[in-house]
Chain A
């Protein structure tokens, strides 16, 4: 770097320590948030994929039932095994069982140990060293180290596995040494699993490895054409895409928020560099006169931007790693999003993403310095040398029509963008609309400032107030810089408050609709025990009414996350008694046609409309069903289909409830819970009152937005920093003018008051515009981003007390920042400033 450039950068850092440090910190914060989110997501996805791979191995293809209740007939497996292109086929049964002592159901994988050895080596069991025969063939079960630890069990112990009303008592014959410390599963020979839990003559899935000279894609295409409709052929890539799609929108949303923090940081760099250029305009003009070329004057400001951005970004990387560690400890690997349930997440910082975030921070800072650098290049040297940086007041007020038309055009653009559909499942046009709305806010600031305060100029005001008004009205660029950060940060904060508020109110109302019973019983993943269901059917129980519900999964698109199938006991003629429908119900043309009611996300993702018929992969086949309506669902982001238990039975399905909704007889709530307690204890069932579920749901909701609140707070702080920096620099820039006022009779108190009032006026304009933009952005987030990214729709609800409270708090902070600048004004050595010795 050139010596002079280095001297000037060093001087800038020495003389504007607070402003440059704050800008650096703002960039660091933006980079830190983005990098932390990246690290956490990368680690969570890697853990999830690793867990998937250790169980699934690396097959060329997997054949599964489209319906989780479905299975792959052994005849199909045998036919595939006979194919000369197939090297090996591993049949697998993957089910869930309950084990005494385990708090939640465990995964039990049944496999053929010989064929699985090459494809799924991580699942290979290690038998008890003292065993004389091969215990896997004798019906032994092998547990992962995590299960052994959790059960406090030893190899050789006897365990009882339970699935619904079927039991299997066997011996822990060994462990699964290749599995990770958090992987909780059991492995047994497939024949024994089939014998105890079914299905007969079928397996859950078949994993295929092809001969090396076979083209996997062509083979899969060919096989897919021959497979029965209830079966699905998956490639390993599909699984990765599915895992990635699972949290894609959530990740993108958080990254956009982090990017916003980074952009607010760039804005602070802009404010700092613009005021730095204005403050040093005489110095830059002198350097220009002495021979510093316009290009180097431009480069100097850009270099100063980089000198803020690069250390800021480096600091951000370190801070990001620390934040990621803290977040994973506090919120888990999915930042409270609820997508992954891996145990401890290990952060692995890779050099390439770190370099990417470093570049992003440097670029943001550089972007913030571009306009000040351009202004510096354009300064008229002779004028700036004598008069410094001055924004010349307009000789006559600008015609308001032109900027108004410009703003209207931008508003139309934002409106148009918000109507565009999602791109690759992401609301990119929605985000662009938000960016345009922020541009409108910032562009409107100088125009509104000039217009509003120009109108006020005619009012009979005392000298202090008049001076403050005139200063704000006649220096709209500085007002724009000062208000800009506040506009952006408050607009984003208000919009997030509005979006989260709308969502919370909607979830609250939705919980009322979906939790009609006072008491609920859940068995997590396995069917409820038959003896409990039989006992509940007796007339002497404390329950007036019991409704069952079973959950399974369907694969409609192998590259998308599975859809939930809900089979529940409800009245086909009156489903609205149990489901919160979003629109009118459609009646099937034929009474024999099964009816399903789809959730709102399913309609959004797959474009299915009520009144149409579609084919669903149910019970190992393809079944034609009628879509009777769309119901609101905020708990299953990737869609759900509800079918009545009667229709399901008619289709040949066996309805085995996982969950029960229970209505105790009047006055028997306590008795009902006492009645359920022994079953809950014995079978590890969850009993919860509606109020508890409601409280828990809202707590999960609040937790999932914790990161959003943190980002909002960061953006707000950065905006306030921006205002403070600009106001302080404004006082320095106008030192001569303030000194002249002092000479003309303004005492220090009056000067202080005028500066405080200016700050307050700018903050009020910033907050008003920020509020308007915030409401508009809140509407875009609620009506465009949310449905497109998460497939959830909700009415707009503006929590005015919170929004206005935040505005009042921000105004108070802004006035405090102005007061600090005012104190600086009152400390100016007026005589020296007037003498202008340098």
Chain B
């Protein structure tokens, strides 16, 4: 479509800012999130890591207004706050979301589904959607008859077809085969490179996050336990090959993996171990933070 309306919201606004968010399901239930705060800078890809049930999905659903679980705190998207974001057309046009499990449109064929959803957006990148469909070999069958992986591909197409400025992905590749996973991640990198898209990616696959993300956020016990640029973490996190563990204060954690050792401080985060960087660090860091 050529009649793209002028963006009302400033492009340079912070795509997503969450401050002191608390959430839980039901009045008597414990908090799923408490004092959850994070700010995503434009153009960054933030990998959100957390254990099962830690609240990754809740964060996304509360932020997007897909659930009423939010109890306190504030959410600001592109400088707009105080209301569920989906009430503002300007915000909706700039946000994409891939749920953990795609449901709906069971009897619709893929083409019809894409046509139905694309008709509601001010601008839809038909070339991108067609190209990804071809690359993913997505057949024009009824969505209810597609295997789960192909259904997830449809969800991804529906989320990125309007080229959103903020893309939130809730474990999007968990049901994709390795080939489709690689293609999807490549498309994500391309989108990010093309238009500086901001991405919040929740996943258990640390290797994917390590490959894609520019920033890492680890969610533990309802709040962000570690949030930093991946390069910064690499600089601060040390991996050493030592004969014996060094003596440590009791509040610090000494962790080992094989013959490698590193240190986690609950106040200062990852302490430099003054050694070279090698191997996969993110998984070790994740295990250290979430085992506390």
> Do A and B belong to a common assembly?
no
Residues of chain A touching chain B, judged by Cβ–Cβ distance below 8 Å, are none
